[in-house]
Structure 1
Amino acid sequence: MALMECHFFSEALGMSTSMNVILPQQTRSQIGLEGKSSTDKHPVLFLLHGLSDDHTIWLRRTSIERYVASLGLAVVMPNVNRSYYQDMAYGLAYWTFISEELPALARSFFPLAEEREKTFAAGLSMGGYGAMRLGLSHPEQFGAAASLSGALDAVRVARERLSPAESSAIFGPLDEVAGSSRDLLHLLQGVEASEGPKPKLYQCCGTEDFLYQDNQRFREAAQGTGLDYTYEEHPGIHNWDYWDFTIQQVLKWLPLERKE
């Protein structure tokens, strides 16, 4: 695998920002690891961080580089600070950045596939919300989306999980979140009713996680649709032991072409 830290300017944010990128590399003599690649453009996973982290965290807390080596899968890990993947009411346009600008820029920098069937999103906690929002808002671009211990209830996050000042800066008026494009339950209904492509969805959460009940609400709504939806739960709390385990389950679940 090749690992790069990429610093670049974002027009959407109006400033420079960073992402870490893992690219497949075909290797045979590397001790302890056999990398796989192809001459085609690489399928890509946009892997999103949580509220208190940044673009470096997946590499620092898991073995994500080792886990994807045999899959021929590129991984793009961007930085969105504490934005909750929103175009903030009083702040920067992180949703525009993550949903529109970043995929286009990443593909201009690296040989990444453009087909939706080879484009995926996943994330933990706040990033689980971001990944699900990408899949549900842009099913024409993302073939699959996965949430690990996701903070999936934006209404509850805005009202209870953040301080009033931060919530106001990110979401603006609280009574405008429910039923909007920021509300995943609303997006689920829209995708189900649409005649366009529909993403595969994966959700997992630890049974002792403080977000467990929020995840159950999303689970009930998702299971009431006709979407290709997978739910798993395991003993666990909101920590990296759980996410290091479950990101491996996500990689097994992704609809990749797996060549022996």
Structure 2
Amino acid sequence: MAFVQCDFFSEVLGIGASMNVILPQATSQQIGMEGAAAQSGRHPVLYLLHGLSDDHTTWMRRTSIERYVSGMGLAVVMPTVNRSYYTDMKEGARYWTFVSEELPQLARSFFPLSDRREDNFVAGLSMGGYGALKHALRHPGRYAAAASLSGALDFSGGSTTLSPQEYARIAGSREEVKGTDNDLFALAEKAAQLPADQQPLLFQCCGTEDFLYQDNQRFLKHARSLGLQLTYEEEPGDHNWDYWDLKIQRVLEWLPLQKQM
């Protein structure tokens, strides 16, 4: 594998931005780790999103994500969006436009990443779980699959560690969020209207001791009532890296990329 720490200028944000990138490399002499290249010239890619208190370094620092993907021929792009909740903020920067539009275009211009729907996936934890499903449900033509680990999925009415003041700066009021493209429940209803082969595959997991467990249960019930193609898993676990390090391995097993190899 190759690991790249990439600093660049964002025209959307008007500031310097950062992402960490793992790129496939076929190797035969690494001790203790297999290395595999992508099947074609452009790599399938997983956009891996961080939580509220983290940044683009957190997945590399707190999991073995590079080792987990080493034999898959899969690139991983890990951006920073600060405490934006993957939104174009009410009072702040346009982080949703940055991460959903500008970032993939820049990443593909810097690195040999595929732009085909069947090669693009997105996953994240907590705030990033919300961001991951938001990517796939808002842009089902771009992503084949999305995974939420302990996601903060009920942004309009569920639990959050944001203060009321910070929530207002990000999104306004909860009533303003309901029914909009920042509301996963509304986005799920739109996605359910698509033919099954145009809907992204969804993966959702949450530990039973997690403070977001009930929010996840509400989204699960809603998604299943709509007939979305969602795989759900739960087991004992809390809102911590012991759980996420375990479950990201399960997400990688689940990705439809596995069926193509």
Q: Same fold (TM over 0.5)?
A: yes
Match for 2:51: what amino acid? G
| Matched residue, 1:18 | 18
Q: CA separation in 2, counterparts of 1:155 and 1:250? A: 26
Q: Is the 8 Å Cα contact of residues 154 and 183 (structure 1) preserved in structure 2?
A: yes
Matched ranges for 1:29-44 at <5 A: 29-38=29-38, 39-44=40-45
Alignment of 1:218-233 (within 5 A): 218-233=219-234
Residue 170 (structure 2) pairs with residue 167 (structure 1): no
Distance 2:260 2:198 in 1: 26
Counterpart position of 1:72: 73
SS state at 1:156 partner:
coil
- SS for the counterpart of 1:36 is coil
Moved more, 71-80 or 190-199: 190-199
Residue matched to 2:139: 138
**Which of structure 1's runs of 4+ aligned residues deviate more than 6 A?**
none
Could you say what the CA RMSD is over the residues aligned between the two structures, in angstroms?
A: 1.4
Cα deviations across residues 91-133 of structure 1 (Å, max 9, x unaligned)?
Answer: 0000001111111110010000111111000000000000000
Q: How many residues align?
A: 259
Which residue is 2:178 aligned to? 178
Superposed CA deviations along residues 209-236 of structure 1, whole A, max 9, x for unmatched, are: 0000000000001111222210000110
Q: Is the aligned partner of 1:112 residue 2:116?
A: no
User: Aligned partner of 1:30: which letter?
Assistant: Q
Give the match's secondary structure for 2:37.
coil
Q: How far apart in 1 are the matches of 2:132 and 2:83? A: 15
TM-score by length of 2: 0.96
CA drift of 1:40 comes to 2.1
Shift of 1:174: 2.9
In 1, Cα distance between equivalents of 2:116 and 2:208: 35
Which secondary structure state, in structure 2, belongs to the residue aligned with residue 130 of structure 1? Answer: helix
User: How far is the alpha carbon of 1:160 from its aligned partner?
Assistant: 5.3
CA shift for structure 1 position 255: 0.4
**What's the CA shift for 1:161?**
3.4
User: Structure 1 CA distance, aligned partners of 2:202 and 2:258?
Assistant: 18
Distance 1:187 1:257, change over 3 A: same
Gaps of 5+ in 2: none
* TM-score under structure 1 length normalisation: 0.96
Task: Give the conservation status (yes or no) of the 8 Å contact 1:71–1:258.
Answer: no
2:176 maps to a residue whose letter is E
- 1:1-260 to structure 2, matched below 5 A, reads 1-38=1-38, 39-156=40-157, 161-195=161-195, 197-257=198-258
1:257 CA displacement: 4.5
Identity across the alignment (%): 62
Quote the offset at 1:200 in angstroms.
0.3
- C-alpha separation between the residues in 2 aligned to 1:94 and 1:78? 11
The C-alpha deviation readout for 1:142-163, integer Å capped at 9, x for no partner, is 1100000000011135x85311
Report the CA distance between 1:194 and its aligned residue: 3.1
